[in-house]
Amino acid sequence: MSIFICPTCRSLLTETDQIYSCTGCKSVWPIVYGIPQFAHSEVKWSVFENDVADKVTELAEKTTWQKAVDTYAHTLGAYTLRYIKDESRADWHVILPLGPEVTILDIGSGWGNIATSLCKWCRRVYCCDVSMTNLRLLQTRMRDRAINNVTTFQYEPNDFLRLPFPNTSVDIVILNGVLEWMGAADIDATPDRVQVEALKEIRRVLKPGGVLYIGIENRYSISTLLGQKIHGELPFVGLLPRRLSNFITKRLRGEQHRTYIYSIRGYRQLLKHAGFHQNDFYLPYPSYHHANYLIPLEPKWVKRFWLDQLSLSRSRKYKLFQELGLSRLPFHWLAYSYSIRCTK
């Protein structure tokens, strides 16, 4: 019997030759390349150009993940190459209740860096993504590393999040750099509503005491205030009231602004709406992509201790910042990103 249930009606599924059939609504979900497709559409996203992404995946399936990535490494920048290879990106797992009996759901698993790291600390990792190409590539990475406790599946990108899991069946859910993209689903609902519904769906599958980990950017970070483009949006647009940002993006690009990110207060409200009331915020430095430091925002003195004692900055600006006692200010309001641990 499969652990999966029908994402549409939540009835049991039966598995026959490369197909999952729903015993309730009679939906049929194919299994392609060994990956259950709980989706009717696909979003192709990759750090590689689309045609290159397919070639990388095909080469990885024929040879090895490493060889395929190295072959096409010249099409990527050094940062991106490190980003997809780096297995230290999930070091924030130290704040999660991992253990030999724990099951993890990694939503938007991308390159599999996080799954590769977490699978050593738990019973099973379920990796899901909206791109079959990414999932196929991820499978080759696991195959080459002889990792056999990672299961993949595709989920529907253009609908409210519907997970193929029964209620209270997962211990930990990971949303690392994904929640903002959920708002981009091509459906008739506001991005914040799509995000709240996704969080509610995650809460449904979490066991009591289970944990949701979120890694995400801050809407009012120094970077966005200085005009850095986040998620391909127009600079400064994300800082504006949502109606205005939608209006401007529509006028200039012909599409809505949908990749919503929030301030620390905004995240608290969003999580509260979704039913998460016990939320611990951390400051990942330099960013949630690679959290060299993970600084709890409570108690408050810890971030000041970090800045005064552990920062490696040798710049005059930093010295001035320190001498003026500015480390006492709530500078985390302007941090690039946050790591959030939400307990059910």
Q: List contacts with another protein (CB under 8 A).
A: 82, 86-88, 91-100, 117, 120-121, 291-296, 299, 301-302, 305-306, 309-314, 319
Q: For another protein, which is the closer residue by CB, 230 or 295?
A: 295
Between vectors from CA 44 to CA 43 and to CA 50, what angle results, nearest 5°?
A: 160
Q: What is the DSSP string of 135-189?
A: HHHHHHHHHHTT--SEEEEEE-SSSS---SS-TT-EEEEEEES-HHHHTT-SSSS
Residue type at position 209: G
Q: For another protein, which is the closer residue by CB, 204 or 290?
A: 290
Omega into 191 within 30° of 0, i.e. cis? no
| 283 sits in which H/E element | strand 278-287
Minimum distance from CB of 88 to another protein (Å)?
4
Minimum distance from CB of 318 to another protein (Å)?
9
Minimum distance from CB of 94 to another protein (Å)?
4
Minimum distance from CB of 74 to another protein (Å)?
14
Minimum distance from CB of 243 to another protein (Å)?
39
Q: For another protein, which is the closer residue by CB, 25 or 310?
A: 310
Q: What is the largest CA-CA distance in the chain?
A: 69
Q: For another protein, which is the closer residue by CB, 241 or 299?
A: 299
Q: For another protein, which is the closer residue by CB, 117 or 245?
A: 117
Rounded distance between C-alpha atoms, residue 339 and residue 97, angstroms: 15
Q: Which residues pair with 338 in a beta bridge?
A: 216
Minimum distance from CB of 103 to another protein (Å)?
16
Q: For another protein, which is the closer residue by CB, 21 or 64?
A: 64
Runs of H (alpha helix) within 206-309 = 222-225, 242-253, 264-274, 301-305
